[in-house]
Amino acid sequence: MVNSVVAGLTSGGGYALLGLCVVLTYRLVAVVNFAMTAVGAMGAFVMVSLTDKGLNVWLALVVGALSAALLSGLLGAALVRWFSGHRERTKAAVTVALYVALTAIGLRLFGGTSTGAHRFPNPFGDPVFTVGGVVVPQSVLVSLAFALLITLAVGLLLTRTRLGLKLQALSERPSTAEVVGIPAPLLAVGVWSGVGAITMLVIVLVAPRLGGDFSTLAGLISTALAVAMVGAFRSLPLTLAGGLILGCLEGVSSSLDAIQKYQGVVPFLVILVLLWWRSRREVWDTAHSR
């Protein structure tokens, strides 16, 4: 059981990164982006398609990140252009539709689970140390470091810089932000592009552990949302902790025979419990606040 918990914890860094991407998008542009991992997976597969053709891996990484940024930017531009006045739930619904469309396109372009498996570069696969019977590779530390970096850097950006102030204004009152001279549409598309590129990098980093085919990687959105829910879509440090908690829960659930068969339910159970916890003091017809 201890070994299983340690094994689960080693997955936590990757899960945290996925959750942070969701929270990042939500805090900066106020959209729960269901298409996030599909966009990242598109970029990641652009990258591996190029490396398959013999392109240098770093160059392919840059091209992949740029393509994810472009795709995410287009998605953001569409939302700004046609849905800026709509409610959050409408925007979320649009991203669900895009998730379905992108998954179908990705499956067609890059193949299914068996036929489209790719070996992603794993530069951090070497072992660092062993805890109990679990070998901890460099990638675990890199994921955790990357998650910490995002948590700190974005926290500082939003609270200590002028750009951060503008971004918060854009997220919370986009129309008012535009009135006071903040170039809201341009800034929003920029944020979407940036988050797209970061998501692609995260997908490439977690792919050797979490899935090498398009549909598995695009499907990581369910894990990402469960982790983001721990941070209530706001708190970056809590989201980071959420990734580690989810990893632990998975480790525990796979080691106990009685609940082993229900382990796939764990992320959804986390979502459910947290939704209930968050809404326990809400009064009917009271406006939700972000």
Partner 1 sequence: MKRTLMTAAATALAVSLTAAGCQSSGDSGKGPIKVGSINGITGLFQTPEVPKAVKAVFDEVNAAGGINGRKLELISKDDAMDPSRSGQAARELIQSSGVVALAGSSSAVDCGLNRATYSKSKIVSVPAVGVDPACFTSPNIAPVNPGPYALTTAMLYYASETLKHDKVCMDYTVLPGSGGGIEDAIKQWETLTGKHLTHKNLAVGQGDPTRYLVADKNAGCQAVIYNAVVGPWFAQAKTQGMQKVDFILAANSYTDANAKVIPPDMSAYAGTEWQPYTDPTLPGNDRWAKLVEKNGIQKTAFSQGAVMAADVFVDVLKTIKGDITRESVTKAFKEMRPINYPMVGTPYVFGPGDKHNPIQGSRFVKADKGGWKVLPGGFTVPGKS
Least distance CB 23 / partner 1 (angstroms):
20
Please report whether residue 120 would count as binding partner 1 according to CB under 8 A: yes
16, 239 in Cβ contact below 8 A?
yes
Q: Binding marks (x or -) toward partner 1, 178..217, rule CB under 8 A?
A: -----------------------------xxxxxxx-xx-
Q: Which residues pair with 127 in a beta bridge?
A: 137
Which C-beta is closer to partner 1: that of 197 or that of 205? 205
Output DSSP code: residue 80: H
User: Tokens at residue 182, please?
Assistant: 């903040």
Under 8 Å CB-to-CB from 135, ≥6 apart: which residues?
127
User: Tokens at residue 200, please?
Assistant: 């692609």
Please report whether residue 85 would count as binding partner 1 according to CB under 8 A: no
Please report whether residue 119 would count as binding partner 1 according to CB under 8 A: yes
227, 210 in Cβ contact below 8 A?
no
Under 8 Å CB-to-CB from 229, ≥6 apart: which residues?
242, 270, 271, 274, 275
Q: Binding marks (x or -) toward partner 1, 137..166, rule CB under 8 A?
A: x-----------------------------
Please report whether residue 168 would count as binding partner 1 according to CB under 8 A: no
Please report whether residue 106 would count as binding partner 1 according to CB under 8 A: no
Which C-beta is closer to partner 1: that of 179 or that of 256? 256
Please report whether residue 135 would count as binding partner 1 according to CB under 8 A: yes
What does the alpha-carbon distance between residue 48 and residue 142 come to, in Å, rounded to a whole number?
A: 21
Q: Which stretch binds partner 1 (CB under 8 A): 63-71, 116-124, 156-164, 235-243?
A: 116-124
Under 8 Å CB-to-CB from 94, ≥6 apart: which residues?
78, 79, 83
What residue type is assigned to position 72 of the chain? S
Least distance CB 57 / partner 1 (angstroms):
16
What does the alpha-carbon distance between residue 185 and residue 174 come to, in Å, rounded to a whole number?
A: 9
# residues near partner 1 by CB under 8 A: 47
CB atoms within 10 A of CB 176: 12
Which C-beta is closer to partner 1: that of 40 or that of 137? 137
Residues 252-281 that bind partner 1 (CB under 8 A): 254-255, 260-264
Please report whether residue 133 would count as binding partner 1 according to CB under 8 A: yes
Which C-beta is closer to partner 1: that of 134 or that of 200? 134
Please report whether residue 219 would count as binding partner 1 according to CB under 8 A: yes
Sign of CA dihedral 2, 216, 141, 237: negative
Least distance CB 120 / partner 1 (angstroms):
8
C-alpha separations of 123 from 116, 204, 205, 213 in Å: 21, 11, 9, 18
Given the rule CB under 8 A, which residues bind partner 1?
Answer: 3-4, 6-8, 10-11, 14, 107, 111-120, 122, 125, 127, 133-135, 137, 207-213, 215-216, 219, 223, 247, 250-251, 254-255, 260-264
